[in-house]
Amino acid sequence: MPLPGRNRQVVLKSRPLGIPQAEHFELTSAPVPELGKGEFLVRNDFLSVDPAMRGWTNAAANYADPVGIGEVMRSFAAGEVIASRHPGYAEGDRVMGMLGWQEYAVTDGKPIRRKVREKDLSLSLSLGILGINGVTAYFALTEIGQPRPGDTVVVSTAAGAVGSAVGQIAKLAGCRTVGIAGGPQKVNSCIEDFDYDAAVDYKAANFTDTLAAACPKGVDIYYDNTSGPITDAVVRHVNKNARIVICGTASVASWEPWPTGPRIERHLLNKAVKMQGFLIWDYEHRYEEAVAKLAVWVRDGSLRYREDILDGLERAPDSIAGLYRGENSGKRLIKIRHA
Amino acid sequence: MPLPGRNRQVVLKSRPLGIPQAEHFELTSAPVPELGKGEFLVRNDFLSVDPAMRGWTNAAANYADPVGIGEVMRSFAAGEVIASRHPGYAEGDRVMGMLGWQEYAVTDGKPIRRKVREKDLSLSLSLGILGINGVTAYFALTEIGQPRPGDTVVVSTAAGAVGSAVGQIAKLAGCRTVGIAGGPQKVNSCIEDFDYDAAVDYKAANFTDTLAAACPKGVDIYYDNTSGPITDAVVRHVNKNARIVICGTASVASWEPWPTGPRIERHLLNKAVKMQGFLIWDYEHRYEEAVAKLAVWVRDGSLRYREDILDGLERAPDSIAGLYRGENSGKRLIKIRHA
C-alpha cells in the first residue's frame, strides 16, 4: 500500500477555561515523517471523544499534563498498522492507544495501550464498551462499588458510554438499577436500551421527588459521573455503608477556583459511607481481564452499547463541547474517511 | 454491702440546637428500683464524656435515636456489679456499657458492651484507650486508613482521646505523623506526650503554611476528627490514592441545615482518593481483638494516653460543652464519688 504523504491533524489553538469549544482547535496538516528504526505507522480509523479531554486542555494541575498549544489534541484512537520498523508490531495489526486527533500516527509503541484481538468485533468497540469506558465501568463498579444482589444502584449520565455499561453490569450482578439522565429521550434509552429498572430525568422540575420515588429502599451504590446538584440530590438517599464511586464530574463546568456545595462529611460519617475517586490508570495491569469479561457479555447480547459516530475529522473541534451540551447518544467517536 | 436507696442522675431537660450546654441538663434523683429476675445493679465509677453525645441530644436523624426529654443522658460508663439476679453477671464483675449519666444502673445486660478483664489496669481505661476511643482509633486507622511504612499521616484533634491513639498507632506502623491541634499547649502535648513527628496549631495565623511545611511529601492518610476549615486545608495536600478517614466533625457546630464548603469531588477523582466514614458499630464483633492489641501496647508503654477526670456528677452538665470549647486535655471522664 502506498504510504500517505500528508497527515491531517486537529491541534489545540488556545487554552480554554472550562469546556473547550470549536474555536480552541484548528485543523492543520503536516507531512507524514519517515519511519525511524523501532517505529511504526498507524492509520487511525476511529478517534475517541471523551469528557476527560476537557481536563487535558485546561492548565490546572490534573491527573495528566495539559496538552500544549499547537500540539495535536491528545486522544485515544484505534487503527491499523500500515508500515512497521518495530519488531513487536506488524502490518495488519489492529491497535488502540493515545494516538491523537489525526489521520496517521508515527509511534515507537509507547502510546499503544493494547493490540485489539477481538477480530470478530468492530474496531470502534476498543474505544468504547471494550475500551476505557467499559473497563472503567467494570472496575469502578465492581472494585469500589462492590455490588451485591438486591442493592439499589443509582447511575448518573446513565445512558452515556460509561453509565450505560455500569447499569447493565450492576443488573448482571443482581442489583436494582436506577438511571439518571437529561431529557425524555435519554431517560427512555435507559429503560429501552440499557435495561434500567427505573430512570429519572434530572432536567424535570420534579427531579428530587421522582428520584426519591425511584429509590424506595434508599441507595446502596451511587455511581457518580456528574457531581453538582444531581450528586447532591442522590447523596441525601444513601443507605448505611453505601459506596459512592466518583468517576466523572460532567455537570460542573469549571473547578478553578473550587466551587462550593453542601458539606457531606457528617452525612458520610453518620452512614459510614465510602466515597472514592476512580482512575483507570490504577487498573492498567488488569485491563485485559476486564476486556475479556466484557467481550463475553457483548457477544452474548447481555451488554449493549450505543455509538455516536461523527463522520470525518472536521467534526472533531466541536465534539467535546457537544458532549457537554449532552447532544450525543452513546459513546462519541470520530470516524476518519481516508482518501 | 447495703444497697443504695437513691440514685442521682443527669437528665436531658431541653433539646439543644448544636452543642448541648449545662442549661440543657438537670441533676435529679430517683429511687433505686428492686432487681427483677435477670437484672443486676451496677455502681458506676466512671462516666464517659464524648463528642458524639452532641448528636445524641439533637433531634436530627443520626446514627442513634435522640435521647428523650426527661430521660437520663445516654453515655458509656464503667463500674462494678454490686448485686445480681442475672446468671451471666456476678457481684464484683467489672463492666462497661451504655449505662448513662447516673450513679447506679439497673440493667438486664443488654446495654453492657463488655466485661472488663484487664484487672491490672484502671477501670477508667475501658472508657478511653481500651474503650471506644482506642478501638475506634485502631480499626478506623488500620481498616480504612491502611497505613504503610513511610506514609505521612495527618490527624486532627491530634492530642484528643482518639487522635492521640491514632498518631501513636500510625507511628508504630512506621508512618510519619503530623498532628493538628488548637493552641501551644496541645501542640506541645502532641510532640511531648504522643510522639508526633510534627504538630501544627490550627489557631495560628500561619496555619496553612505550617501545615504545608510539615507535610513536604504530601498526605497519604488524613484522619479527620473535625471537618470544616481544618479539613479543607488538609485535603489540598492529599497524595494520589490517599485515604481520608472521617471519624468526627468537631469543628462544625451545627449540621442542620447542611453547611456549605468546597466541593471535593473533582479533587478526590483526580487523586483517586478514598474518603470513608467510620462507625465503631460496624466493628462490634471484633472489639476484643482491638482491646487485646491496645492493652499490650499500653502495658509496654508504647501507647500513651491522657485522662481529663472531672470530679463528681455535678460536673456532667457542662462537660460536653467544655469538650467543644477545647478545654480538656485527654479523654474526658466523670468520676463518681459514692457516699
Does the structure show a pLDDT above 60 at B61? no
| A65 in contact with B, Cβ within 8 Å | no
**Distance from C-alpha of A235 to C-alpha of A218, rounded to nearest angstrom:** 10
- Class for the domain spanning A132-281: alpha beta
Domain A6-128+305-335 has CATH 3.90.180.10: yes
List, for residues A71-130, the tens digit of each pLDDT value.
999 999 999 999 999 999 999 999 999 999 999 999 999 999 999 999 999 999 999 999
Q: What is the pLDDT of residues B189-204, one digit of tens each?
A: 999 999 999 999 999 9
Q: d(Cα B118, Cα B134) in Å, to the nearest integer?
A: 15
- The per-residue pLDDT for A63 is 59
Facing B277 at nearest CB: one of A249, A268, A278:
A268
Give start-end residues of each CATH 3.90.180.10 domain in chain A: 6-128+305-335
Cα atoms found within 13 Å of the Cα of residue A142, Cβ hemisphere only = 20
Q: Is the pLDDT of residue A1 over 60?
A: no
| B183 φψ region: left (φ > 0), alpha (ψ -120 to 50), beta (else) | left
Asked whether the beta carbons of residue B269 and residue A247 sit closer than 8 angstroms, the reply is yes
- β-pair partners for A201: A181
Residue in A255, A269, A282 nearest the CB of B277: A269
Within 8 A by CB and 6+ apart from B277, the residues are: A265, A268, A269, A270, A271, A272, A273, A274, B246
A271 to B277: CB separation less than 8 angstroms, yes or no:
yes
The pLDDT tens digits for B156-183 are 999 989 999 999 999 999 999 999 999 9
How far apart are alpha carbons B94 and B121 in whole angstroms? 12
Q: What is the pLDDT of residue A65?
A: 85
CA distance A26 to B85: 86
* Side-chain half-sphere CA neighbours of B2 within 13 A: 5
Helix ranges (H only) for chain A are: 53-57, 132-139, 161-172, 184-194, 207-214, 228-235, 265-270, 287-299, 319-324
Q: Model confidence over A113-168: pLDDT tens digits?
A: 999 999 999 999 999 999 999 999 999 999 999 999 999 999 999 998 999 999 99
Cell of A288: 485485559
Taking the CA of residue A61 and the nearest CA in chain B, the distance in Å comes to 9
Measured between beta carbons, the chain A residues lying within 8 angstroms of B241 are 282
How does A190-210 read in b/e, with b if 16+ C-beta sit within 10 Å?
A: beebbbbbbbbbbeeeebbeb
Q: Percentage helix, strand, coil, to 5, in chain A?
A: 30, 25, 45
- pLDDT, mean over chain B: 95
Asked, as a colleague might, if the bond just before B257 is cis with ω within 30 of 0, I would say: yes
Residues B193, A32: Cα–Cα separation, whole Å: 68
User: What are the beta bridge partners of residue B31?
Assistant: B6
Q: What fold, for B6-128+306-335?
A: Quinone Oxidoreductase; Chain A, domain 1 (3.90.180)
Q: In Å, how far is B142's CA from the nearest CA of chain A?
A: 15
| Cβ–Cβ < 8 Å for A49, A74 | no
**Interface predicted TM-score of the whole assembly (ipTM), two decimals:** 0.87
Of B305, B253, B288, B321, nearest to B49 (Cα)? B321
Chain A residue with Cα closest to B249: A266
Q: How far apart (Å, rounded) are the C-alpha atoms in residues A27 and A13?
A: 9
Give the position of cell 515507537. A108
Residue A270's Cα: distance from chain center in Å?
32
Tens digit of pLDDT for each residue in B113-161? 999 999 999 999 999 999 999 999 999 999 999 999 999 999 999 998 9
Hey, of A232, A235, A254, A266, which one would you mutate to test binding to chain B, going by the most B CBs within 10 A of its CB?
Answer: A266
Confidence of residue A204 (pLDDT cuts 50, 70, 90): very high
Position of cell 495528566?
Answer: A64
Q: Does B60 contact A at CB distance below 8 Å? A: no
Instruction: Check pLDDT > 60 for residue B16.
Output: yes
Task: Pull the grid cell for residue B311.
Answer: 470530679
The rounded distance, in Å, linking the Cα atoms of B150 and B42 is 46
Euclidean distance between CA atoms B305 and B165, whole angstroms: 7
| CA-wise closest residue to B278 among B105, B141, B186, B169 | B141
Residues of A in contact with B259 (CB under 8 A): 262-263
Contacts of B264 in chain A (CB under 8 A): 258
DSSP state of A141: I
The x, y and z cell numbers of residue B187, run together, are: 501542640
Q: What is the pLDDT of residues B266-290, one digit of tens each?
A: 999 999 999 999 999 999 999 999 9
Return d(Cα B194, Cα A211) in angstroms, integer: 48
What residues of chain A, 218 to 257, have a C-beta less than 8 Å from chain B?
224, 227, 231, 240-241, 246-249, 252, 255
- pLDDT value, residue A194: 97
A263/B260 touch (CB, cutoff 8 Å), yes or no: yes
Please, which pLDDT band fits residue B250 given cuts at 50, 70 and 90?
A: confident
Smallest Cα distance from A273 to chain B, Å: 5
Query: Are the beta carbons of A167 and A245 closer than 8 angstroms?
Result: no
Q: pLDDT by residue (tens digit) across A251-303?
A: 887 888 999 999 999 999 999 999 999 999 999 999 999 999 999 999 999 99
Chain B residues closer than 8 Å to A218 by CB? none
* Lowest pLDDT segment from A17-21, A257-261, B214-218, B250-254: B250-254
Residue contact A276–B275, C-beta within 8 A: yes
- Whether B244 contacts B235, CB under 8 Å: yes
Q: What is the location of CATH 3.40.50.720 in chain A?
A: 132-281
For residue B228, what is the nearest residue in chain A, using CA coordinates?
Answer: A263
Which of B224, B266, B279 to substitute to test the interface with A, most A CBs within 10 Å?
B266
The answer to whether B282 contacts A249, with C-beta atoms less than 8 Å apart, is no
Question: Which member of A227, A246, A258 has the closest CB to residue B262?
Answer: A258
Kindly provide the b/e burial profile for residues B231-250, where b requires at least 16 CB atoms within 10 angstroms of the residue's own CB.
bebbbebbbeebbbbbbbbb
Grid cell in block for residue A169: 453490569
Q: Over 90: is that where the pLDDT of B253 sits?
A: no
Q: Establish, for the pair of chains A and B, how many residue pairs have beta carbons separated by less than 8 Å.
A: 122
CB contact under 8 A, A274 and B277: yes
Closest-CA residue in chain B for A283?
Answer: B272
- Where in chain B is CATH 3.90.180.10? 6-128+306-335
**Angle of helix A287-299 versus helix A161-172 axis, rounded to 10:** 80
